[in-house]
Structure 1
Amino acid sequence: MTHAEYMTQGQRLAERHKELQHSESNNRFYRMYLSFNPEQLLLDMTDFFSALRNKIKDEVPFMVLQNYMSKYADNRGDNKEKHLDCAFMVLQKLDKSENKDAVYDHTEQIGAELLAAWRYQLLQTYKHQLPVHGITSEPIGPIGTYFYGTRYNFTIVAPANAELHYNPSKFLE
């Protein structure tokens, strides 16, 4: 799976989910590119949420898909896999009258629905796996002062035999 495919899949899920219904006129999907270097990570998140604060005007949920980090694995044989460590958040601006726990419950439900659809889509289209045992979630907030929600971490397992196959035609003698 390429980075573009990953981002497109996340965006399509946000477009299709009935409570998000992302579109150009109804922006409910954002991409967040974070460094995995701890010092840079903090700067990336601060910049992202400062910009986001000015874009979200109402108290409806939205999805933030984070870039993935990949690692490779094998069975000490001929089966190679690419493991994509992925994350997304479902956030909502907290209205002064709203209860944080209600927002956490609501965003957790939407996140679980997104993951269920993503698992189904991966198996049907790509023959990739999104193992349930690798899914974690946690309530988060306040983020950027106003936002509360649920963060999901998960792993997509994709075949990597073709990707890691040595192709001598790609190299000079």
Structure 2
Amino acid sequence: MKLIESHSTYTTAFRNLAIAHKDILHDPNSDKTNFARIVLNRDPYLNSHAEIREFLTAIESTLATPFMLLQSYVVDYVAKNRDNKRKVMQGAFIILDKVEEDNFNNQEEVFDKTERIGEELLGWLDNYYLENMGDGILEHSANENEKIGKILDGYYGTRFHVAINISAESKLAFKPDQFNEI
């Protein structure tokens, strides 16, 4: 099975990265969590920052930092002349950490730390796709990061947008057994 080819494998891959990364060390058996996932609305009139704040408020009592919040992905389907159909999965993850109140030097340290962690996660993905070229491509030209904060009572961090390009030939193939006669 490929590392990422559906919503469940996407979630599993990033959860496993949160478990394995030495700064995050998410433990699924702990009362505290360093990983969660969220589905954000793409409606331009809704504020994703507010959605994130509301979500984190609900889980704050169990939140441990640094923390990875995995955002669901959107898909672009692309093909040239109906050949080489591709599924470009564009998702995001946020690395958050707690900043001491009114400590702007600590805020800068947290921005540096969360950016480093996110870049290490991207580096892991890049290495995976270089070693497993048939599984897909990490689209570097679509990857970006942005600083975010203040969320709740002092959480700051870095949001990473990530694009993974996989084959969609079998996913978009006509499957006549899935249809009744028209």
Q: TM-score, normalised by structure 1?
A: 0.90
Paired residue secondary structure (2:172): coil
C-alpha displacement of 1:104: 0.2
C-alpha displacement of 1:133: 1.5
Would you say 1:128 and 2:132 are equivalent positions?
A: no
Question: 2:92–2:161: 8 Å Cα contact kept in structure 1?
Answer: yes
Q: How does 1:14-163 map to 2 (within 5 A)?
A: 14-23=18-27, 24-25=29-30, 26-40=32-46, 42=48, 44-56=51-63, 60-96=65-101, 97=103, 99-125=106-132, 127-163=135-171
C-alpha displacement of 1:115: 1.0
One-letter code aligned to 2:86: E
Question: 1:74–1:80: 8 Å Cα contact kept in structure 2?
Answer: yes
C-alpha displacement of 1:151: 0.6
Structure 1: unaligned runs, 5 residues or longer: none
Bigger mean CA offset, 38-47 vs 113-122: 38-47
Q: String of CA shifts for 1:137-158, please: whole Å, max 9, x gaps.
A: 1111101232101010011101
C-alpha displacement of 1:40: 4.8
Paired residue secondary structure (1:166): coil
Give the corresponding residue for 1:13.
17
C-alpha displacement of 1:45: 2.8
Percent identity over the alignment is 33
Return the structure number with greater strand share: 2
| d(CA) in 1 for partners of 2:47, 2:40 | 6
| d(CA) in 2 for partners of 1:100, 1:78 | 48
| d(CA) in 2 for partners of 1:7, 1:84 | 12
C-alpha displacement of 1:123: 4.5
Paired residue secondary structure (2:83): coil
Q: TM-score, normalised by structure 2?
A: 0.85
| d(CA) in 2 for partners of 1:21, 1:54 | 18
C-alpha displacement of 1:39: 4.0
Residues 138, 40 of structure 1: CA spacing in aligned structure 2 closer, same or farther, 3 A cutoff? closer
